[in-house]
Structure 1
Amino acid sequence: MRPNARLMALGAVSAIALLAGPAQAELSAQDAARLGKDLTPVGAEAAGNKDGSIPAWTGGLPPTPAGQDPGNPYAGDKPLYTVTAANFAQYKDKLAPGQIAMLQRYPTYRMNVYPTRRSAGLPASEYEIVKREGMVAQLADGGNGVLNVDLGSVPFPVPKTGVEPIWNHMMRYRGGTFIRYGTEFPVHTNGSFTPVRRTEWYARSSALGSPEPNRMSYYKNIVTAPSSIAGEAILTHDPLDQVKEARLAWTYNPGQRRVLRAPSVSYDSPGTGTDGLRTMDDYDGFNGAPDRFDWKLVGKKEMIIPYNNFRLGDRALKYKDIIKEGHIDQELVRYELHRVWVVQATVKSGVRHLYSKRDFYIDEDSWSIAHKDQYDGRGELWRIHELFLRPEPAEQIMHYAGNAMYDLQARRYIVHSMNNEEKPAKYGLKYELSQFSPDSLRRIGN
């Protein structure tokens, strides 16, 4: 797919910025004044596009009262058109190479495109944080961290370098704290699968009563099924400035009943229970230190991406209704036209990583990665990652109804973070730092 003139121009500007060395990327007074005006409070273009296919942002979905199921607020929408292997050429400028590859590989893969609903919105308090901390946030040396922030959220609402949208994604507001029950499916070529169930705990550092210095977030998960790996657990502490301090990680092995430091819980190490179909840093689109890649801000484009996937997340669905041979049931996926930031990551010379290149497509309204294409060491398209965005109106966050990673070479795929048959997530819980200590792994694993 050839980049349009705007992408090429923005890419040239980004390349110059990268050559100039580490950017002092604090938000200018002029750009700060645009937030909440021609830009949304998090830096997206507030206006719609020229032909009206992308509407203006009007604040996102209104909050749902606590404890009330929002249902599907867009259940009455009908597809505007469907992209298939037969007609994708007319939509090529709005598709990623990975989407085109899926259309060409699987005749049953199709994309039902619905009216665009700009549903992303955050609490007003978060908008204040974005503007205040955006004025002082800076990249650490080499882009491997964020300096001068306490609460995070969106440190770079007007990005100038390629790594800044990635930090916006990793630091985006997710409700402060949560406990979530999710399921992962490494799917075989015939469509069969064995669910890998997990319980996950997350805390933004500022949500804890006594946060440690230089901490962005805390994360813990335990595998609860199948029995062969049940009890395996992981704990990570992610720093803000990863030049000063690398990720701290521990694992618990129930057979050995031991908690061990685990520097391998990062980068391209295979995820637990994934049959090697995703890496550690594939989780949530991207996580961890960005230092093994050179990051280029290619620009912004209009793109068809998964969005407002209330139907896919419906608890009336069973996993067997979703998981099909080759790919998930595409009739359950809602696609919309949105503006995305395009970021290209290329592995640094002399550095090892399973992926030689990764192209990220990041929703401008939520800073959530919506799609990712990943290339092997030969430069061939290898793994295609679709992340099915869905708002949580009660919490005023954008989350995922799940995500799918398609491996073109293995002709297999893995689905992650599905919770149709699980208990609902809980947000805004009161956590103490001790709940993310290495000793806590042993307690939950026993």
Structure 2
Amino acid sequence: MATTVLRDEDDAARRQEKLERINEALLDRLARIESRRGSAWAVFQAAAALEKEVAARNRDLEKALQNLGERNQELALARAAAEQANRSKTRFLRAASHDLIQPIAAAKLYLETLGDTPLSPQQQDLLARLGSAFASVEELMQSVMEMARLDSSRVRFNLQPVALDEMFGRLADEFGPIAAAKGLRLKVATSSATVESDMVYLRRIAQNLLSNAIKYTPAGKVLLGVRHDGDRIWMEVHDTGVGIAEADRSRIFDEFQRLPNDGVAGMGLGLSIVRRACGRLGYPIEMRSQPGRGTMFRVGLPLADEPKISETTSADAAPAPEGLAGLTVMLIEDDAGLRHAYEHLLADSFRMRVASFGSSADALADPTAVPDVIMADYNLGYGDTGLLAIAGLRNKFGVVPGLIITAQLDDATVEACADLGIPVHPKPISATQLRAALENAVHEQR
């Protein structure tokens, strides 16, 4: 009996232990299930929160894109307005410069004609001062027109091989007397290099750099030369002048900027034109300077492989032998004041017979005038041009020498004149330049 009781107790203990193990296993499984369910719930909650955040960010992004679109549209409108304003500015500058140059050109011709008459010393001094004043205004107008042309998106360059030695020789002839008048030594190095450039603008760059160097060099010398560097060369202008302080170097290429207290005449536009021209032609420009010891400007130019082009094909080529006296010049100029000044100069100084008209229609309608040479303004007003006048007169009289003198010296005008083989010259034109232009035109047709 005791054995049976013990066995029963052992069985009960084993069953209890087994039940406890089962209970522990169930509790452990339940805990694991609860743990997994808690993680899934947390993930679900996190996913729901993330979805809300993504939706909010998408709304913010859509709003930002909408705002960006609106800003881009505003910027596009602002850019279009700025470009239109720039075109309007360029047209205004051209028109204003043209209208201002007309009376300046007339005044200069009157002064040159007056200079051929007997004058007292006091009158000669006043005449010289007037000429200097008009020359300053002319320089300003020409600079403004050049800047307007270079700012225009339609400017085109006539790239061709340019012989530097020939151009340098002409620059030496032009600036030698100016340097000598200040007691400076101008040295122009020889060079056999031929570069690929626009002849007119390259010479203008060199002229402005030389003029600037001479103005700011009270004593010593100015040097124009070249330095070879692989497939390009550097055109360099050195001077022993006042130099440029570090604080002024960032602004010297801006418009109407001059060194403080320099006492030098000028408008402060020369270097601005140099920067614009170099920028449009793709030429690097560098400057080194030491205050009190001098400055060096240099421009990088690409070398050309083709044969050189003579610079004497430019508009201010050397004049042919004189021979204007007694010839009939047909003058077509719509500005009455300038036309009257031309008439005096052509008749009194050049001893030519003058038939003057205000339009091409008036010139073609005249039954008496048979010209030896035609001299016409380009813009005659109301769509009339000097090219139309010359073409009409050539149909009437045959091939007659002609030239265009204009303040509207843009690319389109130059190309149109070149197509008809008619030389074009900028206003205002001096008496010497006009004589040379007429002689060249007549000589080339003989």
| TM-score normalized with structure 2 length | 0.23
Q: Could you say which structure has the larger radius of gyration?
A: 2
Q: Which has the higher helix share?
A: 2
| TM-score normalized with structure 1 length | 0.23
Q: Which has the higher strand share?
A: 1
Greater RCO, 1 or 2 (C-alpha within 8 Å, sep 6+):
1
